[in-house]
Structure 1
Amino acid sequence: MISVTLLGAGNVATHLFKAFNASKKTTVNQWFNRNINAIHQYKNQVKITDNLNTLEKADVYIIAVSDNAISKISSSLPFNDRLVVHTSGSVNIHDLDKKHKRGVFYPLQSFSKTAKLNFKDVPICIETIDKKDYSILKEIATDLGSPVKKVNSDQRRILHLAAVFVNNFTNQLYRVAHEITESEAAEFDLLKPLILETAKKVQDISPYMAQTGPAKRNDTKTIKKHLALLNKNQHKAIYKLLTQSIQDTHGGKKL
């Protein structure tokens, strides 16, 4: 068994704990969080602590905290020369204290504590300073059932940036669409099959080839009607910006 210690109690740490707890080759032998109340409910499943000085020896220490806290936590760990990794998409591997064996175990997925998640749908991007440490992180990821990809810090930063576009920004567009439909008591749920079909389509063809709609076909009459229907200036600005981006990509006329 590979022993893991978790540090942090956010969305990523919570999902990792549940996944490791159900795995066959990996065990969480300790879970640290500075606010122990956040992990108190798991006290019968794993040793919990709010004191870094009580951390026991493990094969891997996974820091799953906010980006700003990663460096400080790694420096505060009361030991040297053990494998310490973080789960961030944007933090450099060198932000970890060099007294450790350093790595990154980045699950490229959106995490919410209340949402169920199958790690078969969570690619794990791995980076290590020492090539010998890569194999243990790959084994842990494989044990979760996750696809594994070796990436460097530059590639990981770009993937994280792209993830903001396809996930966070897209979800905000869902929120705008929900607000627009509510304004006329239309049903947002009627859009859900379209949302799924759009996501499904890019599994097989490129986003460029998948693009449809009035902006691509330069349907200026429909575009003007849509803008007239929007009551909020912010929504108009978003519509214009994305319309212009599509037209720039597909050779349409400017607004």
Structure 2
Amino acid sequence: MQTVIIGSGNVAFHLAKAFVLNEIPLAQIFGRNQTELQQISSELNIPYSTEKLSDAELYIICVSDNSVDEVSKLITKKDCLVAHTSGSLPKEILAGEYRKSSFYPLQTFSKTKDLDYSKIPFFIETENNEDQKTLTDLALKISENVMESTHEKRKYIHLTAVFACNFVNHIFSKAKEISDAQEIPFDYFLPLIDETVQKIHEIDPKSAQTGPAVRNDKRVLELHEQLLKDESLEIYKTLNLSIKKMYDLP
């Protein structure tokens, strides 16, 4: 199947790399950022263009949510399948007269971080059973975890991902601010972080909870509050309150 990836960011790069590593042909990678496209093309040996879309049977749009509608209008071919990779947008955001779908990889992507693509879940939504099979078979060449999903379900998948990834990473950043301010190497906390994440592979997160809030240790909670101020103090109080509510603590 002739396939074109549209975009030059993190998702476009990793999806293109996953295709190449699994020997799935790519006709082109297309976008506006020539510098990024040249780098991707050079590394993965894929033709690229900033001017003309190649003819293809499948176009996969890997751009920001705000740009999907506009970019989708660049595809004027009617007899083709077009998929976006957004976790939150409906397939109907695609503006052409082609067949519409979603090809959503559930992962956080950075160009400098290698990934095991076989572990990344893909969620597929299409307009008909034939396209569902086409995209499912394609995803199964990359990943062991492929699932059909409606837009309604995908919204909750994306919301869960924000809690499990984006919010957690923000907390890591706040933790590093505290350790940096006290000149404590953040590397010292990495074994704790690794163990926390590894633990929920084996134990339900609710059962794995530790810390002063779940122990209802008011002395430690008050001590910590005295050490914090402004936004960090509000985050600390909010999270501790949420933990107490989850465990029905006073």
TM range (shorter): over 0.9
Residues 161-212 of structure 1 show CA distances to partners (whole Å, capped at 9, x for unaligned) of 1111111110110011111112222222121111111111212222211111
Instruction: Give yes or no for contact 2:3–2:28 (8 Å, CA) kept in 1.
Output: yes
Q: Which residue, out of 71, 75, 78, partners 2:76?
A: 78
User: What is the alpha-carbon distance in structure 2 between the residues aligned to residue 222 and residue 30 of structure 1?
Assistant: 58
Q: Within 5 Å, which residues of 2 pair with 1:76-225?
A: 76-97=74-95, 99-225=97-223
Instruction: Give yes or no for contact 2:107–2:120 (8 Å, CA) kept in 1.
Output: yes
Letter paired with 1:86: H
Q: Which runs of 5+ in 1 are unaligned?
A: none
User: What is the alpha-carbon distance in structure 2 between the residues aligned to residue 107 and residue 7 of structure 1?
Assistant: 15
Residues 45-80 of structure 1 show CA distances to partners (whole Å, capped at 9, x for unaligned) of 1221112xx323323110001111111221221211
Residues 107-148 of structure 1 show CA distances to partners (whole Å, capped at 9, x for unaligned) of 000001111111122111111111110111112211113410
Instruction: Give yes or no for contact 2:13–2:40 (8 Å, CA) kept in 1.
Output: no
User: What is the alpha-carbon distance in structure 2 between the residues aligned to residue 128 and residue 175 of structure 1?
Assistant: 38
Q: Which residue, out of 237, 242, 248, partners 1:240?
A: 237
CA change 1:85–1:206 in 2 (3 A) is same
User: Counterpart of 2:139 in 1: which secondary structure?
Assistant: helix
Alpha-carbon distance, 1:241 to partner: 0.2
User: Counterpart of 1:76 in 2: which secondary structure?
Assistant: coil
Runs of 4+ in structure 1 deviating by more than 3 angstroms, as ranges, are: none
Q: Which runs of 5+ in 2 are unaligned?
A: none
Matched, 1:47 2:47: yes
Report the TM-score, using the length of structure 1 for normalisation: 0.93
Residues 128-137 or 238-247, more deviating: 128-137
User: What is the alpha-carbon distance in structure 1 between the residues aligned to residue 84 and residue 212 of structure 2?
Assistant: 43
Among all aligned residue pairs of Structure 1 and Structure 2, give the percentage whose two residues are the same amino acid.
38
Q: Which residue of 1 aligns with 2:54?
A: 56
User: Counterpart of 1:157 in 2: which secondary structure?
Assistant: helix
User: What is the alpha-carbon distance in structure 2 between the residues aligned to residue 221 and residue 18 of structure 1?
Assistant: 51
User: What is the alpha-carbon distance in structure 1 between the residues aligned to residue 81 and residue 32 of structure 2?
Assistant: 21
User: Counterpart of 1:28 in 2: which secondary structure?
Assistant: coil
Letter paired with 2:233: K
Alpha-carbon distance, 1:98 to partner: 5.1
User: What is the alpha-carbon distance in structure 2 between the residues aligned to residue 191 and residue 37 of structure 1?
Assistant: 37
What is the RMSD of the two structures over their aligned residues, measured on CA atoms? 1.4
